[in-house]
Amino acid sequence: MDIGTPVPRRRMRADARRNYERLLAEAAAAFAEHGADFSLEEIARRSGVANGTLYGHFPTRRALLEALMGDRMRALAAIGQELLAHPSPFEGLTTWAHAALSHTATYRGLGTALMQAVEDETSELHMACKTVLAAGEGLVARGRATGEVRPDATAADLYALINAAAWAGEQSSKNQGERLLTFGLDGYRASNFRHG
């Protein structure tokens, strides 16, 4: 269940790498604290770097988010793969969904970013989202096959539910995210499905 920290993909000059890492660290802190609409200018300032440098490394806010999130998302998908072996399909599904919520709730605004990225093929996060979605699909399909999960449930529904729960948790001082997810997952039970 390890979710790693990001590492630059290509070779870089030493100073560039230093700045890259510092920027990422400051961005992670700001993201966790202020949400996805933190000020890029401030990230640069706090990293002791001109803002042009930030834009050099991360041309868009999204590029910065991908660098922060990509590895975590892929790790989440891997957890989903493992849970396909869970003895109870429904429990595997709910365990994964809660792990996904916990991941998404780490950064405010992440749910929103993920909902957009999954539909936007130009997004740097798009591929990572697809991977997560595929992991969800595996779990949902297994549940449908054993009859525990209602037949009209899709991975897209699950993905939306998880992100919506993360969103609700951000808005509310109470534990609304977990509650929404729990109630929502109960709605996935086949026993609860009414035809028509």
Partner DNA sequence: GAAGTATATTGAGACAGTCTCGACTTTTCC
Partner DNA sequence: GGAAAAGTCGAGACTGTCTCAATATACTTC
Nearest to 42 by CA among 57, 59, 27: 27
DSSP 149: B
User: Which residues, 149 to 178, sit near a second copy by CB under 8 A?
Assistant: 153, 156-157, 160-161, 163-165, 167-168, 171-174, 176
User: Which residues, 63 to 122, sit near a second copy by CB under 8 A?
Assistant: 112, 115-116, 119
Compute how many residues bind a second copy; rule: CB under 8 A.
Answer: 33
User: Which residues, 3 to 22, sit near DNA by CB under 7 A?
Assistant: 12-16, 18-19
Q: 126-146 and 89-104 are packed helices; what angle lies between their axes, rounded to 10 degrees?
A: 160
Question: Cβ contacts of residue 60 below 8 Å, gap of 6+?
Answer: 124
User: Which residues, 31 to 90, sit near DNA by CB under 7 A?
Assistant: 37, 39-42, 48-53, 55-57, 59-61
Smallest gap from residue 68 Cβ to DNA (A): 15
Instruction: Return the number of the residue (37 or 119) whose C-beta is nearest DNA.
Output: 37
SS (H, E, C) 38-71: CCHHHHHHHCCCCHHHHHHHCCCHHHHHHHHHHH
Residues of this chain that interact with DNA (CB under 7 A) are: 12-16, 18-19, 37, 39-42, 48-53, 55-57, 59-61
